[in-house]
Amino acid sequence: MGTRRAFFAAAACVLAAGFAAPAAAQGTIKIGEVNSYKRFPAFLEPYKKGWELGLEEVNAAGGVLGRKLELVSRDDGGNQGDAVRLAEELLSREGVSFLTGTFASNIGLAVSDFAKQKKVLFIAAEPLTDKIVWDNGNRYTFRLRPSTYMQTAMLIPDAAKLKKKRWAIVYPNYEYGQSATAAFKKLLTAQQPNVEFVTEQAPPLGKIDAGAVVQAIADSKPDAIFSSLFGPDLANFVRQGNLRGLFKDRPVFNLLAGEPEYLDPLKQETPNGWYVTGYPWYGIATPEHKKFLDAYKNRHNDYPRLGSVVGYTLVKTVAAAIRKAGSLDTEKLIAAMKGLEVDSPFGKMTYRALDHQSTMGAYVGQIGLRDGKGVMTSFRYEPGEKHLPPDAEVRKMRPAD
């Protein structure tokens, strides 16, 4: 009799466990997110606010596959090794379905390589290096933001139109700055074969000796300047350049300097007439942007930065990919990401099957002062798909999946 009781008790436990499993499976869908929040707060604090808003909207609408989405986020401190370690922990300990995030290009490349080794989907939100989808591209990695090549290509028509022969270049000496510089030299030379690059200044990221850099550029007597500086490096360069008259009657082209994250801190020191890529949130009147702007202001009592758009669109991408795949299976997610269409505050965008690059574009124009603040004084939206190399060239650069 005791044996029979033990048998039925054991059977009851098995049945209970069997019925409990589906309930556990119906918990949240966890997505891993790794980023350098403490290292790059100007961009990543608004970025986090953006993905928080996107997450709330997705979950308020019923989530995905009948389950709520959850982003499990970790701070890598701006360190490649820590980023990879945290990505491993997210997969093994937190049980996330795939990976997202990263800011700096070198960290994005490290996590992309890790995703390839682990055969897990990685949606790179912010890193701009061309390598992440071309030279070092892999079947597991997709990228949201327009690359250095794309954003540089958006500035080239204005640069070529000026017909300036002698150019100085200044960039932060790591993957992003190197990639931007290579793209600018290649694209401008194609438009203007007689161009000369008279000096290249490559200070370490976050450690620019702005006075020395400005003096070296001035000594080279350039007709124009191309810069990919951002953050405190950009602010220090602007301050020293203004003091020494470097920008007087000399056109300057700067990637990212129109983004509120980097333009707002310049305040009254904002140089006039620089050509930039950026985000004039105050002047975009499209219905999709107005909807996002109103929701963001209501949620955070603040205006959005470009990071806000990126974070918000990342979550919309995650939800759309899972919905299209109908599954959390990696192979089905990869198939879904190829050609995936996503509605963003900048309009509809697509993740290209060819190279996994999204067609998100950027605003291009010039900057100046208005009421003591830096603003984009004239701008236009440049769709990303207009500023990519020919497909045949992409196939030569990108390894076979």
Structure tokens at 242: 């203004």
Residue pair 385/149 in contact (Cβ under 8 Å)? The answer is: no
Phi-psi region of 336 (alpha: psi -120 to 50; beta: other; left: phi over 0): alpha
* Per-residue pLDDT, 26: 66
> Coil, strand or helix: which one is 265?
helix
Q: d(Cα 144, Cα 358) in Å, to the nearest integer?
A: 5
The DSSP secondary-structure symbol of 223 reads: S
* Per-residue pLDDT, 107: 97
> Coil, strand or helix: which one is 305?
coil
Task: Measure the N-to-C terminal CA separation of the chain; round to a whole number of Å.
Answer: 63
Low-confidence residues of the chain: pLDDT under 50 = 1-25
Q: Tell me the per-residue pLDDT of 38-72, one tens digit each, with 9 for 90 and over.
A: 999 999 999 999 999 999 999 999 999 999 999 99
DSSP states along 125-185? -S---GGGTTTT--TTEEE-S--HHHHHHHHHHHHHHHT--EEEEE--SSHHHHHHHHHHH
Q: d(Cα 399, Cα 264) in Å, to the nearest integer?
A: 40
* Per-residue pLDDT, 335: 98
The full set of domain ranges for the chain reads 30-147+285-360, 149-283+363-387
Single-letter residue type at 121: L
* Per-residue pLDDT, 4: 43
Residues in a beta bridge with 73:
33
Q: What CATH architecture does domain 30-147+285-360 belong to? A: 3-Layer(aba) Sandwich (3.40)
How many angstroms separate the Cα of 234 from the Cα of each of 230, 239, 343?
A: 5, 9, 32
Report the topology of domain 149-283+363-387: Rossmann fold (3.40.50)
* Per-residue pLDDT, 401: 78
Phi-psi region of 119 (alpha: psi -120 to 50; beta: other; left: phi over 0): left
